[in-house]
Amino acid sequence: MAKKSRLVLKTIIYDESVANQWLDEPPLEVWDHHIIPFLSLKDLALSRHVCTFFEAYWQDKFSNNVLPLRVGNDVATIDRAMRVIEILSSRREYTKLNPFLVLLGKGVYQITSSWTDPHGFVAETTLVITRSNVTFVGTGKDTTTILGGFHIDNLENISFKNMTVTNTSGSPGTISPRNIHLNGKGITMSNAKVELFDVALKGSASAGLIMLRSSSSATSVVATRCEFSNSRYCGAIVRGSLTSAKFKNCVFKDNVSSGIQVGNNATIHLHGEATAIHANGNHGLNAFSSGKGFIHLPPHHNTCYNNEPADRRAAFGGTITNVED
């Protein structure tokens, strides 16, 4: 026997003494829960001149950072989203607790921008993030894919959640201070603070994540439940005395070179029982030039395995230490 369905209607009382109440003062409950979810930031902005209510409603929602920017609805491309972020950031202040929110639905998003470094080198399919306090949110590693990479310099509170980032532009080569931020990088950053949640940095022509040597301020990454895999160089590269990375329950696998490189006095911390570094072609965890790797797991935990030619390599002052918290 089929279950009976019941439609419950909530009665809303209107003050008939107020003229044009439907136009000037629609009940906020109706707007917040039944109308706004179907509108994008652009839709509401374009409605500001319809009546007096819309302008006040827009100002309230914008000032309180309620409306996210939806790529595909508000703007056609993720490149264009950065231009809108720049404009709106000049009109209100975004913070770590209240960041600019960019939503990406299911599908593939191609980055078409390029970035030219101070030496004149051009990084293709690379979007430069130009404002702090921005969060990019997809629908999942298997459903939202970014084709291209991101360059982040002198910014803080940049977050990526629930997506795959892959940059196949260019070809792999020897990483040096001059070409480390060129083509084929998933996320490249310096003097910046970034957080990654449920992100796969995979299949790039060079490295999934590159943290450059910081010159003036600390560079840090906190990555949770992320995957660094199948890149034609390394899964992650962490370099610099002011550079640190914390990886919790992350996997580094199937990269042509190392799973993780840590060098030039940088520090990495590995946490979480689901942490795994395996099947990489040139060492699992490679610490060199006074780079320090701390594995916050017991020695018997199967952290690094099936890497060639060795699971761990500590050379030229680099160290790898198991730490039981």
Mean pLDDT value across the chain: 86
Local confidence band at 302 (pLDDT 50, 70, 90 cut-offs): very high
Give pLDDT, residue 179: 54
Give pLDDT, residue 14: 46
User: What is the arithmetic mean of pLDDT over 238-256?
Assistant: 96
Q: Is the pLDDT of residue 317 over 50?
A: yes
Which amino acid is it at 44?
Answer: L
Give pLDDT, residue 20: 47
Give pLDDT, residue 119: 77
Task: Yes or no: say if 89 and 122 are a contact pair by the CB < 8 Å rule.
Answer: no
Q: What is the pTM of this model?
A: 0.86
Please, what's the b/e burial string for 113-145 (b: 16 or more CB within 10 A of its CB; e: otherwise)? bbbebeeeeebbbbbbbbbbbbbbbbeebeebb
- Tokens describing residue 145: 């894919």
Give pLDDT, residue 1: 41
Q: Is the pLDDT of residue 243 over 70?
A: yes
Q: How many residues are there in the chain?
A: 325
User: What is the arithmetic mean of pLDDT over 138-163?
Assistant: 97
What is the spatial distance between Cα 57 and Cα 74, in angstroms, rounded to a whole number? 18
What is the spatial distance between Cα 104 and Cα 136, in angstroms, rounded to a whole number? 7
% of residues, the chain, pLDDT over 90:
66
What is the spatial distance between Cα 279 and Cα 306, in angstroms, rounded to a whole number? 5
Q: Is the pLDDT of residue 2 over 70?
A: no
Local confidence band at 5 (pLDDT 50, 70, 90 cut-offs): very low
What is the spatial distance between Cα 259 and Cα 29, in angstroms, rounded to a whole number? 51
Q: Is the pLDDT of residue 82 over 70?
A: yes
Burial (Cβ within 10 Å: 0-12, 13-18, ≥19) of residue 257: buried
* Domains of the chain with bracketed CATH: 28-67 (no CATH), 70-171+181-322 (2.160.20)
- Exposure of 25 in the CB half-sphere (CA atoms within 13 A): 10
User: What is the arithmetic mean of pLDDT over 230-259?
Assistant: 95
Mean pLDDT is lowest, of 13-22, 25-34, 114-123, 253-262, for 13-22
Distances 271 to 89, 147, 275, 306 between C-alpha atoms, Å: 35, 29, 7, 20
Task: Yes or no: say if 196 and 224 are a contact pair by the CB < 8 Å rule.
Answer: yes
Please, what's the b/e burial string for 297-324 (b: 16 or more CB within 10 A of its CB; e: otherwise)? beeebebbeebeeebbbbeeebebeeee
Task: Yes or no: say if 113 and 126 are a contact pair by the CB < 8 Å rule.
Answer: yes
Which tens digits make up the pLDDT trace of 100-122? Answer: 999 999 999 999 999 887 778 88
101 C-beta neighbours (distance < 10 Å), count: 18
Would strands 304-305 and 285-288 be described as parallel, antiparallel, or unpaired? unpaired
Phi, psi of 171 (to 5 degrees): -135, 155
Local confidence band at 57 (pLDDT 50, 70, 90 cut-offs): confident
